[in-house]
Amino acid sequence: MKMRKLIGAITVAGSVAMAVSAQAQDIKLGVVAGMSGPGTSYGIGIRQGAEMAVREINAAGGIKGRKISLVVVDDASNPAQSVTAMQRLVNDQVDLVVGGWGSSQVLANMEVAERAGLPYIVVGATNPKITTEKNKWTFRVIFTDSVQAEQIADAAVRRLGMKRIAVIHDANDYGVGNRDIFVASLKKIGLDPVAVVPYQSADKDFTAQLSRIREANPDGLAIFGTIPAAPAIMNQARDLGIKARFIGTGGLANENLMTLAPKASEGTVLTTYFHEDVDPQARAWADRYVKEFSGGSQPPRPVLAAWEYRAVKFIAVPCIESSGTDKEKLRQCIGRWKGTLFSVPGDAYFDKTGQLVQQSVLVEVGKGAFQAFKGK
Amino acid sequence: MTLLAASKVSLSFAGVRALVNIDLQIEEGELLGIIGPNGSGKSTLFNVLSGIYRVDQGTIVFRGERIERFGIAQIVRRGIARTFQNKRLFGTMSVLENVEVAAMKGVQGSALGDVFGLNSSLQARKKAGAIAERCLVLTGLADSTGLLARDLPYGAQNRLEIARALALEPTLLLLDEPAAGLNPSERAELQELIRRVHAEGLTIALVEHDVRMVTGLCARAIVLDHGEKIADGASAMVVRNPRVQAAYFGEVESEEEAHAA
Amino acid sequence: MAALHQRWWFWAATLAALLALPALAPQYVVHIANFILIYTLPVVGLGFLTGFTGRVSLAQGALFGVGAYTTALLTTKLGWAPVATLVPSVLMTIVLAVSLGGAAVRLAGLYFVMATIGIQQIVWLVLMNWIELTNGPQGVRSIPAVGLGEYSLETPQQFYFLALVAAGISYFLAKRVIGSRLGLFLRALSDDQLAASSVAVEVGRAKVTALALSAAWAGAGGFLYAHYVRFIHPDMFGLEPSVLFLVMSMFGGYRSIEGMIVATALLESATEYLRPFGEFRMIAYGMILLLGMMFFPMGILTLVRRRAGAPAAGKD
Amino acid sequence: MPPEKALSRPVLSTSDLNVHYGKVHAVQGVSLEVRAGEVVALLGANGAGKSSIIRSLVGLTPASGGRILLRDRRIDGLSSEVRSALGMAYVPEGRRVFGDLTVRDNLLMGAYLVKDRAKIEQQLEEVFGLFPGLRERHRQIAATLSGGEQQMLAIGRALVREPEVLILDEPSLGLAPVMIKVIYETLKRIRERGMTLLLAEQSAHIALKIADRAYVLETGRVTYESDAASLRSDPALRESYLGA
Amino acid sequence: MFDQLFIGGLATGCVYAVVGLGFTLVYRTLRMVNFAQGHVFMAGAFLGLVIAERVHLPALPLLFVVGAVAFALGMVLERLVFRRLYHNHEVFIVGSIGLGIVLMNGVRVFFPEPVPFPKVFGSEVVQIGAARFQEGYLWVVLSTLVLVVLLHAMFTYTRTGRALRAVAADAEIAATVGVDVKRAIALTFGLSFAVAAIAGVLIGPLYFVSFDMGDMVGLKAFSAAVFGGINSIPGTILGGLVIGVLENLAGGYISSAYKDLVAFVILLVMLIWRPTGLLGRETPVKV
C-alpha cells in the first residue's frame, strides 16, 4: 500500500505543472501545511478537511458551474520552507489560500501572501501577531492564544476553583505566547502562578521541570504544549506524585492525548476548536469525516480537520459565490463575513484585524474521550 | 664563523634515547655530511634543528640566537630550510605553486591586499614569482612548472623539494636523505645540483645513508650511532675511524663467528 | 567543463541567461533562484574550510543565522537602515565564529567536526532561549526590505538583482582569495600541514583566517536571507541547513567554486522538485545524500568531468 | 628435518615482482626465493624497496605485477589473513604491537588461527621460554613496554602459531645496541630450531651475522645476490656501503 | 529534589552512555563518526514495539531479540552501505546523516505519530528517599550495568572480542595474524546497532516512541562519547552518566531553558581543553 502511495506521489509531482494549465477555468484553492516534518499529523488533517469540502462542493456542481481544484503544498513544518511553499501558491495563481499550520510557519509565509495580495485564511496558528490591522490579506478562524489562554485562566480560577496554579510550557512561540497571556490573565484576577517552567519541544524527560513544580505544590497545572510532550508531562507528573489537575489550550486538543496518557489525562480541562457534542451538525460531520478517512496512514481526528473544512465550506466558498475570484473583492467579502458554524456556539464574525470572533468550547477528558465540560 | 652551534642536545621518546648529548657546529659556507646507520638519530637531529621536535636538554644557537624553543615556522623565518626524507610535497598543487608558497616568505604585503589587488601586494607576488622561477631553473624543473607535483616522476619530486627549500632563501639548508630511492644517474644529477647550490654560497647540512656520496661532496662529516656523535672530522678520515666501521659493519667479527660455530 | 570555462562566450551566455531570468521565468522560479543565489554565499564560504583546509564544519547554518539575526535585530529593534547593517552582520559572524571555533579549528579534522556540532547546537539553543534579545521561538518579523535610495527591493524579481550582484561579488572575491597567497597557503596546508609549516606558512593563523572567511561569507549570506524572507526563526538555522550547506559544498567536488555553485543550484532545485512527495520527500532527500556519498564521494560533478575526459579534480 | 632435502625446496618465492605507489615504481621485477630452514636477508638503503617487497609478500600492498608463491601455491591475489592462515608470519617495521591489549592478549592474537586451546598454551610457554621478560609482564598493556620488549612481543606474536616462514621488517630499527644483540641472539635460536626466516635490514652487518644468503637492493632492483659468508668478506659490499 | 533529579539524570545518562557506546565502537575501529546512531536507537525502539505488540515477550527475551535483529541489520548495512563510505570522514559523516534521515522518515511513514510502548518493564512507581519514579528507570540502570559487564567480558575474554580490539588498535597487523578485518568491521557495526537498539527498547516504555526521538539523543550521546573519550568504552559510559546527571541538575536548579546547552558546552570545552576526552588516549593533534 505504501508503495502505491509512493508511485502516486511521483505521478502527482510530475503532473502538478500540467494540471495547472489544463484546468485554467477552475477556481484554485491553495492549501499550505506541513505534510512532512513535526507537524505532519496536523498537516494531513488540514489536507483531509480541504479534500472533503472540495469533494462535496464539486459533487454538488461546483461554484456557479466552476469546479474547485485543490493545490496542496508541503512546507515541511519548517518556517524557511514555508516561505517557498507560499511563493509556489502565488506562482500557481491560486485564488485564495486556506491553511497554514504552526505560528512560525504562518508568520513566515504570510509575508509572501501580503506582498502578493492573496487572501489567506489561517486555520492552524494561534500567535496573536498574525492578525493585526497591518496585515490586511490575512484572516484567521482559529482562536488566538490570547482568547484561549484568557478563557482557560478564567475557568481555572472561577469554575475549577484552583488557587495554586503552576505553568509548564513549550519554549516555542505557541507555548510562550500562551504563557504570557495566561499569566497576565491570572494576575488580573489576582493570582500569581506558583511556578513557571519551560521545556523544549524535543524533550522526553521532564523530571527536572516537574521536580520544581512538585516543590511548589500546585493544585492546578497548566500545560501549554503539544503532542507528544504534553501527555508525557502528564504521565511523568503522576509518576512523581503530582496530583494537580491539568488544564490547557488547543495544543492539547488532539485525541492522541488520551492514547498516550490514558490514565493521567483524565479530568484535564481545555479549550478546543471543535467538539462533536456541541451540536448535532458537528456530530454528523464528524461521523462522516471519520468514515471517509479511516484506513489512512493516521487515524482520522475530526478536531484537526474541522477548521479547514469549516473555513472552506462556510466562509471561502460563499464568498467566492458572491464576489467571484477578484482578490480585492474576495478579501472584502471575507472581512464582512458573519454567520454560524457547527460546533461554534452563537454567531461568529471577523474583527478589524481579520480575527474571527467566536465563542470557544471547553472540554474535559473523561473515559478516554473529550466530553463537553459540564462544570459550573 | 660558526653559523649554528648545538651543544649537549638530548631527546628521548618514551624512554628511548634518540639523541644523547650531541654537540654540533656548522660553519658558514660549509657542506657538512651527517652519516650513521639506520636509526642512529640523523633524521631526529634534523627534526630538532627545524623545530619539529623540542629538545629535552641542550641549546641550539643559530646566528647568535637561541632557537631550541622555537616553532617550525619561526625557525624557517630565521633562515633554516629543510627537505624531507619521504617527500612531503603539496601533491595537488602545481610545481610552480609548490615553490611559490615558499617564495612568499621573503616578500611583503598582506593576504587581503592580494584579494583586493593592492599595488604593493602585486609587486610582492611578482617578486615571489621571480624567486620561484629562479629556483626552478636552478633545479632543472623550469619545463614542468604547470604539472601537479604528484604527477612528477620520483627523481624530479626530489629536486622539487630542494627547489622549494631554496625558495625560502635560507642561510642554512638541511637535506634529509635526498638520494633515497634514486637510481645512479639521478643520484649523479642530484650530486651535481647540491654542488651547484653550495657553490652559490649556501651552507648545507646533508644527511645521507650513502657514504660515498658524502665523501664525494662534503669536506667534513659527523657520524651518529644510537643517538650519539661518534666521530667528527674530515669525511675521508671519518669513515676509516674504527668506531664508524664498527657501527656499519659490526664489532669484532671473530666473536660473532665464535658464536655461530 | 574545463574547456568551457575558458571560452568567453560561455561566460557571456551564462551572464545573459542570468540577467534575463526574472523577465522570462515565473515568479516562483525567480524565488527559487534567489534562494540559490543566497545559499551560494554560505556554501562558497564553507568551501574555504572543506576544500582548502580539509576541515568540515557543521556549524555553517548557525553562522548564517548569526548574520541574519544581527541585521534583523539591528533593523527592527534599533531602526538601522538595512544597508548599514551589512558590515556589522559580517563582523559579528566573524567574531562569534573565531571566538567559539578559533581554538577548535587547530584540531585535527574529525575533532573539528565534533566541535562544530557543539557550536551549531549552542548557537541554536541561544537563539531559541535568549528571548529578551532574539524573541526566541517567536522569531523576528517585519524585517525591512533592502532599499536603494527611494527604491526598495520587495518582490522576488527586484530582489533577484541584488542577490545576483551579491553572489557575483562573492564568487569573484572567493576566486581572488583562492588565487591569493592565502589561498596558496590554505591549499598547501590541506595537502601537508608539516610541509606547509616548514615553508614558513603560519598554519594556525591560516586556519583561523579560513574560518573567519567562511564566517564572513556566511554572515553576508545571512544578511541577504533576512532581508529577503523578512521573517526569521531559530529553526531556519539549525543543524538541517548546516548539513545542507556542507553537502552543497562537497557535492561540487571540494575545490571548485563553480562546482559548489552548480551543486547548490542542483540540490536546491531537487529539494523543490521533491516538495509534492509529502512524507516521502525527506526519504528521497536522505537517499540523495547517502547515494551521492556512496557513489560520488568526490562530488557529483566529478561524473560530468569524467565524461568530459578531463582529469577529476579532487584531493585523493 | 634433514637439511639437505629442506634446502632444495623454496618455501617462499617471487618472480618478476613489481610494486607501484601511484607513479612511483618501488619494486621493479624482483625475483627471490627463500628455501626451507634458510635465513635470507634483504639488504639496502632507505627507499631501496625492502619494505615494499615485504609488504607485498604479506599482502598489505598489492603487487602490480609478477607472482608470489608459498610452497607451490600462488598467493599474490590472496588477502593478508588468508596468507597468514597458509603459514606466513610477519614482524612489521616499527613493531606495531596492539597497544591497547595486554602482552598475553597480543600473543593470543598471534595464535588467532589456532583453535586448540591446549596447543595455544603450549605455544605461549615456548614464546615465554624464548622471551622470559614477556612472561613477567604478561598482564601489562603492550603500549607501556619498552621498544625492545615490544620488538620481542612482535616476534613472539608472529611465532606463537609456528609459521612456515617468519618475515621480519627491520627488526633492529630504533633499538639500543644491547637490545639489538638480544633480538638477534633470539633470532639465531629460532633459526636453530629450523625456522625459515626472511629479514629486511638496512644495517647489513647485523643481518649478515645470521643470514645464509642475502639480496642487495637498490632503487627497487636486486643488484647483488650471494651467500652471506662471501658477502661478509666481500670488499665489494663494503665498497657499496661505506665507500671505504 | 536532588534525589529525583539525580536518579532521573542517571537513567537518561545510561541511555546516552549506551547509545554513545555505538559511536565509540565504530570510532575506535574506523576513526569515523556514524551520525545515524541516534536513529538506530529510534529504530530499535520501534522494532521492540512491533515485536512486543505481535508476540507478548517478557522483558529480557524482548531485549535479546531486538538486540539480535539490530545486530543483523547492522551487519547487513555495513556490507551494503557503510562499506562504501570509508573514503574519508567527511563522506562518512554526510552519508551517515543521509542514512539517518532515511531511517527516521522511513519509520515515519508507518508511525507518523508518537505511540505508547507496552509496559514490558512494569509500571509500578517506586519510591527511593524523596524520589519517585517508574520501575522502568531501574531497568534502564540495571540493564546498562549488565550490558556493560557483558561487553567488557566479551572484549576481554573471548577470541572475537580480542580480535575486535586488535582491529581497533591496528587493522593492518590484525589482518596479518589472520583476522578477517572486513568481518570484524561488520561485527563492530552489528554491535553498535545492537546496543543502540537495546537502549531504544529500554527507554520506550518510559516515554513514548516517536520517529524523531533519536535526533537529540544521538547528539547528546555523541557529546557524551567525546567528553569521556570517544575511543574509550569506560570513558563513554562515564561521559554519558555525567552529562545525563549534570543536565538534569542544571534543568532543575538553573533553568530548563538551557538544560540542553549543558551537553554541548561540555563538548566544546572538552574538545578544546583535552580533545581525547577524560579517559581517551590517542593524540589527535598532529605536528
* d(C-alpha C275, C-alpha C282), whole Å: 9
Domain assignment present for C175: yes
E-facing residues of C in 255-314 (CB < 8 A) are: 279-280, 282-283, 285-295, 297
Give the pLDDT score at D165.
94
Instruction: Say whether pLDDT at A218 is over 50.
Output: yes
* d(C-alpha E176, C-alpha D82), whole Å: 8
Residue of C nearest to A128 (CA): C138
Q: Hey, which CATH number is domain E2-273, 1.10.1200, 1.10.287, 1.10.1760, 1.10.3470?
A: 1.10.3470
Chains A and D touch (3+ CB pairs under 8 A): no
DSSP state for residue C59 in the 8-state scheme: -
Map out the domains of chain A with their CATH numbers. Answer: 21-143+278-359 (3.40.50.2300), 146-272 (3.40.50.2300)
Q: Are strands C147-148 and B80-82 parallel, antiparallel or unpaired?
A: unpaired
Asked if the Cβ–Cβ distance from B93 to C199 is below 8 Å, we say no
- Mean pLDDT (chain C) is 85
- Mean pLDDT (chain D) is 86
Asked if the Cβ–Cβ distance from A79 to C139 is below 8 Å, we say yes
* d(C-alpha D61, C-alpha A54), whole Å: 69
* d(C-alpha B203, C-alpha B62), whole Å: 12
Separation in Å, CA of D116 to nearest CA in chain B: 36
Instruction: Say whether pLDDT at C95 is over 90.
Output: yes
Structural domain for C149, as ranges:
29-239
Q: Using the structure block, give the residue that is written with the C-alpha cell 568551501.
A: C47
- D89: which chain E residues are within 8 Å (Cβ-Cβ)? 176-177
Average pLDDT over residues D173-200: 88
In degrees, rounded to 5, the angle at the alpha carbon of residue C234 between the alpha carbons of residues A197 and C242 is 130
Between the CA of residue E184 and those of E25, E156, E189, E258, what are the distances in Å? 11, 16, 9, 41
Q: Is C284 on the interface with A (CB under 8 A)?
A: no
Residue B30: give its domain's CATH number: 3.40.50.300
Q: Is D45 on the interface with B (CB under 8 A)?
A: yes
Asked if the Cβ–Cβ distance from C229 to A83 is below 8 Å, we say yes
Instruction: Say whether pLDDT at A284 is over 80.
Output: yes
- C191: which chain B residues are within 8 Å (Cβ-Cβ)? 89-93
Chains C and D touch (3+ CB pairs under 8 A): no
Average pLDDT over residues C25-29: 84
List all residues 6 or more positions away from B206 whose beta carbon is below 8 Å from its beta carbon: B31, B32, B33, B34, B175, B178, B194, B214, B217, B218
Instruction: Say whether pLDDT at C2 is over 70.
Output: no
* Greater model confidence, D48 or B25: B25
Asked if the Cβ–Cβ distance from C195 to B117 is below 8 Å, we say no
* Greater model confidence, A203 or E267: E267
Extended strands (E) in chain B: 2-13, 16-27, 31-35, 57-62, 65-66, 80-82, 172-176, 203-207, 220-225, 228-234
Residue of B nearest to D238 (CA): B249
Instruction: Say whether pLDDT at A199 is over 50.
Output: yes
Residue D176 pLDDT class (50, 70, 90 cuts): confident
- Length of chain E in terms of residues written: 287
Average pLDDT over residues E4-14: 89
Domain assignment present for C217: yes
Instruction: Say whether pLDDT at E283 is over 70.
Output: no
Give the pLDDT score at B112.
66
H-helix or E-strand containing B158?
A: helix B154-166
Residue A174 pLDDT class (50, 70, 90 cuts): confident
* Greater model confidence, A173 or B252: A173
Residue C315 pLDDT class (50, 70, 90 cuts): very low
Asked if the Cβ–Cβ distance from D22 to B150 is below 8 Å, we say yes
Asked if the Cβ–Cβ distance from C233 to A129 is below 8 Å, we say no
- E260: which chain A residues are within 8 Å (Cβ-Cβ)? 200
The C-alpha cell of D130 is what? 624464548
* Greater model confidence, D25 or C313: D25
The C-alpha cell of D41 is what? 636477508
Residue of E nearest to C120 (CA): E264
Between the CA of residue C39 and those of B130, B155, C29, C162, C247, what are the distances in Å? 39, 45, 15, 13, 12
Q: What are phi and psi of B94, to 5 degrees?
A: -70, 165
Instruction: Say whether pLDDT at C132 is over 90.
Output: no
Separation in Å, CA of E256 to nearest CA in chain A: 6
Q: Is C156 on the interface with A (CB under 8 A)?
A: yes
Give the pLDDT score at D19.
93
C-facing residues of B in 115-174 (CB < 8 A) are: 115-117, 121, 125, 128, 164-165, 167-168
Give the pLDDT score at D24.
77
Query: Which of C247, C288, C293 is facing E85, going by the closest CB pair?
Result: C293
Asked if the Cβ–Cβ distance from D176 to B250 is below 8 Å, we say no
| Chains in contact with chain B (at least 3 beta-carbon pairs closer than 8 A) | C, D
Q: Give the count of domains, chain C.
A: 1
Between the CA of residue C30 and those of A20, A180, C156, C275, what are the distances in Å? 18, 40, 6, 17
Residue of E nearest to A227 (CA): E114
Give the pLDDT score at C303.
57
* Greater model confidence, E27 or B85: E27
The C-alpha cell of A294 is what? 479511516
The 10s digit of each residue's pLDDT in D4-55 is 444 567 899 999 999 988 777 889 999 999 999 899 999 887 778 888 999 9
Instruction: Say whether pLDDT at A310 is over 90.
Output: yes
Q: Is D144 on the interface with E (CB under 8 A)?
A: no
Give the pLDDT score at D220.
86
* d(C-alpha A105, C-alpha C189), whole Å: 44
Give the pLDDT score at C3.
58
Instruction: Say whether pLDDT at A109 is over 50.
Output: yes
Q: Give the count of domains, chain B.
A: 2
In total, the C-beta contacts within 8 angstroms joining chain B to chain C are: 94
Q: What percentage of chain A exceeds 70 in pLDDT? A: 93
Q: What percentage of chain C exceeds 70 in pLDDT? A: 92
Q: Where are the domains of chain E?
A: 2-273
Give the pLDDT score at C52.
77
* Greater model confidence, D68 or E130: D68
Least confident of A98-102, B206-210, D157-161, D184-188: B206-210
Asked if the Cβ–Cβ distance from A108 to C139 is below 8 Å, we say yes
* d(C-alpha A95, C-alpha A149), whole Å: 33
Q: What is the pTM of this model?
A: 0.87
Residue in B50, B63, B65, B17 with CA at minimum distance from that of residue B225: B17
Average pLDDT over residues E145-152: 93
Domain assignment present for B84: no
Strand partners, E132: E127
Asked if the Cβ–Cβ distance from A84 to C32 is below 8 Å, we say yes
Q: Are strands D39-44 and B31-35 parallel, antiparallel or unpaired?
A: unpaired
Map out the domains of chain D with their CATH numbers. Answer: 1-84+206-244 (3.40.50.300)
Chains B and A touch (3+ CB pairs under 8 A): no
Residue B106 pLDDT class (50, 70, 90 cuts): low
Return the residue in A2, A48, A207, A263 with the most chain E beta carbons within 10 A, the one to mutate for interface testing: A207
Give the pLDDT score at C297.
80
Q: What percentage of chain D exceeds 70 in pLDDT? A: 93
The 10s digit of each residue's pLDDT in A113-156 is 998 899 999 998 888 888 888 889 999 998 887 888 998 999 99
E interface residues, D as partner, C-beta within 8 Å: 159, 162-163, 165-166, 168-170, 172-181, 281
Give how far the C-alpha of residue C264 lies from the chain's centroid of Cα atoms, to the nearest Å.
Answer: 9
Asked if the Cβ–Cβ distance from C195 to B114 is below 8 Å, we say no
Residues B65 and B100 in one domain: no
Asked if the Cβ–Cβ distance from E271 to C290 is below 8 Å, we say no
The 10s digit of each residue's pLDDT in B59-77 is 999 998 898 888 888 898 8
* Greater model confidence, A32 or C299: A32
Query: Which of D45, D203, D205 is facing B180, going by the closest CB pair?
Result: D45
Q: Using the structure block, give the residue that is written with the C-alpha cell 558590515.
A: C87
Average pLDDT over residues C72-85: 92
The 10s digit of each residue's pLDDT in A72-105 is 998 888 888 898 899 889 988 899 999 999 888 9
Instruction: Say whether pLDDT at D1 is over 50.
Output: no
Query: Which of B76, B115, B167 is facing C198, going by the closest CB pair?
Result: B76
A interface residues, E as partner, C-beta within 8 Å: 2, 36, 38, 40-41, 44, 171, 197-200, 202-205, 207-209, 211-212, 214-215, 227-228, 231-232, 239-241, 256, 259-260, 262, 297-298
Q: Using the structure block, give the residue that is written with the C-alpha cell 606463537.
A: D160
Instruction: Say whether pLDDT at C121 is over 90.
Output: yes
Instruction: Say whether pLDDT at B253 is over 50.
Output: no
Burial degree of E286 (CB within 10 A; 0-12, 13-18, 19+) = exposed
Instruction: Say whether pLDDT at A370 is over 90.
Output: no
Average pLDDT over residues E248-273: 86
Give the pLDDT score at B255.
40
Domain assignment present for C246: no
Q: Is E271 on the interface with C (CB under 8 A)?
A: yes
Residue B107 pLDDT class (50, 70, 90 cuts): low
DSSP-based three-state secondary structure for C80? coil
Residue E126 pLDDT class (50, 70, 90 cuts): confident
- Mean pLDDT (chain E) is 89
Instruction: Say whether pLDDT at C310 is over 80.
Output: no
Give the pLDDT score at A51.
93
Chains D and E touch (3+ CB pairs under 8 A): yes
Q: Is D87 on the interface with E (CB under 8 A)?
A: no
Q: Is B90 on the interface with C (CB under 8 A)?
A: yes
The 10s digit of each residue's pLDDT in A237-268 is 998 889 999 999 988 888 888 988 989 999 99
E-facing residues of C in 187-216 (CB < 8 A) are: 193-194, 197
Give the pLDDT score at B258.
37
- Of the candidates B114, B142, B169, which is a domain's last residue? B169
Domain assignment present for B137: yes
Give the pLDDT score at B249.
64
Give the pLDDT score at C314.
32
H-helix or E-strand containing D146?
A: none
* d(C-alpha A51, C-alpha E249), whole Å: 49
Asked if the Cβ–Cβ distance from D232 to B16 is below 8 Å, we say no
How many other C-beta atoms are found inside a 10 Å radius of the C-beta of residue D100? 21
Residue of E nearest to C247 (CA): E94
Q: What is the CA radius of gyration of chain B?
A: 20
Structural domain for B228, as ranges:
1-79+172-261
Cis bond upstream, residue A228 (ω within 30): yes
Instruction: Say whether pLDDT at B20 is over 90.
Output: no
Q: Is D62 on the interface with E (CB under 8 A)?
A: no
Asked if the Cβ–Cβ distance from D109 to E177 is below 8 Å, we say yes
Given phi > 0 = left and psi -120 to 50 = alpha, else beta, which region is A139? beta
- B104: which chain C residues are within 8 Å (Cβ-Cβ)? 181, 184-185, 200
DSSP state for residue A63 in the 8-state scheme: B
Residue D187 pLDDT class (50, 70, 90 cuts): very high
Instruction: Say whether pLDDT at A22 is over 80.
Output: no
Residues A220 and A191: beta-carbon distance below 8 Å:
no
Asked if the Cβ–Cβ distance from D147 to B16 is below 8 Å, we say yes
- Mean pLDDT (chain A) is 86
Q: What percentage of chain D exceeds 90 in pLDDT? A: 52
